A = this chain, B = another copy of it.
Amino acid sequence: MAKPASLQRQIRADIEKKILSGAWAPGYRIPIEHELMARYGCARMTVSQALSSLVQAGLLIRRKRGGSFVAEQHFQSLVLAIPDIRADIIARGAAYGLKLLSREIRQPKSEAEKWLARDGKIIALECLHLANGSPFALEHRLINLKSVPEAAKVEFSEEPPGSWLLGHVAWSQAENRITALAADRTSAKLLNLDAGTACLCMERRTWRGDARITQVRQLFPGHLFELLAKFNPATPARS
């Protein structure tokens, strides 16, 4: 805990510890603000800010007149890092390779493509990510050129589209869908698998405000890939 222990932080840390250690169970009514004021010898505002922070972190619920309570569910969510496939492969100590299978700029055709861009043009990419020369993931990506005009100039034969977008485009919302499915013949062939092999399929749509940015479908051979998610309710994690 590097942060210089301000009184507020200390109060927050104390209460957090009580909650996470289980000493104050979910539903427990914590001491009222005036009692905490007395205990720490500070103004009510100071206590109140510490509590507010815990509310924002999801550990507390406060009710007017009722008091403050330890939140019932130390909420059921995980923080999942968005995989940047290239970084991921390199982190595993393998050599990264990219094989661009197709790249075209055109009007949207299918329903999914029209979701991304109703009128303007899109880039449609198909590429294969390689780890140490072997197929690691198959990616279909669409990019809305109205939202990201610079993308029209990029080849995507060296830098994978995901990594490029991460560095060049801000996004405010994303929606992920993760499923398991059997590889169809075409995909299996590209990934060097038998048809029907279990694969992890990840579909993501990304947008900023109302502007739709990109849409991607990534297929990973099940035995090669796993998605890791850690969770720590205490610090919704920023340094």
Contacts and interface: CB of A to CB of B under 8 A. Distances in A.
A63 interface: no
Interface stretch (A16-24, A33-41, A110-118, A131-139): A16-24
Main secondary structure of the interface of A (DSSP, over half): mixed
Contact of A198 (B78, B79, B198): B198
A133 to B, nearest CB: 23
A226 B236 CA distance: 25
Interface stretch (A97-105, A122-130, A153-161, A177-185): A177-185
A180 B199 CA distance: 6
Interface in A212-239: 220, 222-223, 225-234, 236-238
- How many subunits of this chain does the assembly comprise? 2
Given A227-B177, A229-B178, A233-B172, A22 B209 contact: yes
Given A21-B208, A196-B196, A230-B175, A77 B76 contact: no
A179 B200 CA distance: 6
Given A75-B238, A81-B76, A238-B75, A231 B170 contact: no
Interface of A: 19-22, 25-26, 45, 49, 52-53, 55-58, 71, 73-82, 84, 166, 169-182, 196-201, 208-209, 211, 220, 222-223, 225-234, 236-238
